[in-house]
Amino acid sequence: MKTVLLTVDKKVDKEKIYAQAVDILNQGEVVAFPTETVYGLGAVATNEEAVKKIYKAKGRPSDNPLIVHIGTMEEVPNYVEEIPENAKKLMERFWPGPLTLIMKAKRGVLATSVTAGLSTVGIRMPDHEVALELLRALKKPLAAPSANRSGKPSPTKAAHVYEDLKGRIPLILDGGTTGIGIESTVLDVTVNPPVILRPGGITKEMLEDEIGEVLEPTPKEQELESTPKAPGMKYTHYAPEAPVYLIEKNHEKIEQTIAKLKKEGHRVALLAPSNYSATSADYFFPFGDEEDQKQMAAKLYDSLRACDKTDATIILATTTSSEGVGAAIMNRLFKAAGGKFIEVPGTE
Ligand code: TXA
Ligand code: MG
């Protein structure tokens, strides 16, 4: 299959591009498109055959449900049994935006593989002109996971999608680099208090400001749960080829560790905030100013992908504060590292 990449910007005939994308989607094919978080790989959420193509193109395990993207608030009651009061408030406040709400699904409306057999469905309205215009032209919901090969870091640029899915999907809409850079917050509002299943750009503090208490299990607590509530969170994820290890941000310890690894024959890549001073690492990927968590989030996946372009045999990533958006950054780094910390020389 040939993969076409079309740039959607103000100069070109946008309507024509959307019409082409809508045609392809209505034929039961998949299309990649930008959202404010990461690029998504969309298929009409009511078309079972089309949704199956998403799993196939990504190599995604079939027990991992997809988020349904909508273009207007009015559609929500078509897909869910009821909209809890909390959810109404959050929709008003944060949609369009990076918040996915898990609600009870109406039976028999969406393709069964969207929900991967669960009785609930995750819904969100993306805050990106291209995504919204596409949804509104299509007038149907789009099931869309992140548009990466399963296990890889999510794509924040059309070029990342092309790298991962070239030859496997017919069309990519290029809307530039995505602004937020990590996936939406997933919040289960079927329970009280609601539970954050995946931290993201809308933080616990922001949610609590609107609806009061919200629970946010730590990565360790999530691991201990026998049946993860967001099935996707149980897989090693967001990971480049070389193994990733977490390390505390302490210059001396990091440099000692790098020296030891190099002696063992490793080529070391270091992922740390841009203000990290001189390093003996073979590759250094600064991922934003430590004082600016939003910038760190926006650069994280690009940095992880950049590691794959090197011959590094090991990647060290520094930990950061878990406050605010830091919770989402640490969640993704923890997954990329499979929870592993590197052993620092001189400590046991
Ligand atoms: O920002 C985003 O959310 C991006 C863009 C494209 O919208 N999408 C995205 O989708 O990250 P995906 O499929 O990569 O991640 C969806 C997450 C997974 O962890 C999945 O298990 C969880 O949401 N999820 C989806 N439906 C669920 C449900 N009914 N119950 C619990 N978790 C659900
Ligand atoms: Mg994903």
Q: What is the pLDDT of residues 115-151, one digit of tens each?
A: 999 999 999 999 999 999 999 999 999 999 999 999 8
- Kindly identify the ligand whose nearest atom is closest to the C-alpha of 151: 2
The helix (run of H) or strand (run of E) holding residue 335 is helix 326-336
C-alpha dihedral over 108, 113, 116, 119, to 10 degrees? -10
Report CA 15 to chain centroid distance, whole Å: 28
**pLDDT tens per residue, range 261-307:** 999 999 999 999 988 888 999 999 998 898 999 999 999 999 999 99
Q: What is the pTM of this model?
A: 0.94
Q: Separation of 115 CA from ligand 2 center, angstroms?
A: 15
Would the CB of 38 count as within 6 Å of ligand 1?
yes
| CA atoms of 259 and 299, how far apart (whole Å) | 26
**Ligand 1 contacts CB of residue 127 (under 6 A):** no
What per-residue confidence (pLDDT) applies to 222? 66
**Could you say which ligand is closest to the alpha carbon of residue 36?**
1
Q: Cα of 165 to ligand 2 centre, how many Å?
A: 14
The alpha carbon torsion through 338, 340, 342, 348 (nearest 10 deg) reads -170
pLDDT at 228 over 80: no
Instruction: Pull the structure tokens for residue 158.
Output: 């059309």
Q: Are strands 120-124 and 99-104 parallel, antiparallel or unpaired?
A: antiparallel
Ligand 1 mean position, distance from CA 281 (Å): 35
Residue 37 has pLDDT above 80, yes or no: yes
Centre of ligand 2 from the C-alpha of residue 18, in Å? 24
For ligand 1, mutation pick of 37, 63, 81, 100 (most atoms within 8 Å of CB): 100
- Strand order of the β-sheet with 314-318 is 244-247, 314-318, 268-272, 283-286
User: Looking at residue 11, what is its pLDDT?
Assistant: 67
Tell me the residues surrounding ligand 2 (ion) with CB < 5 Å.
146
Q: How far does residue 248's CA lie from ligand 2's centre (Å)? A: 26
Do 148 and 302 contact (CB within 8 A), yes or no?
A: no
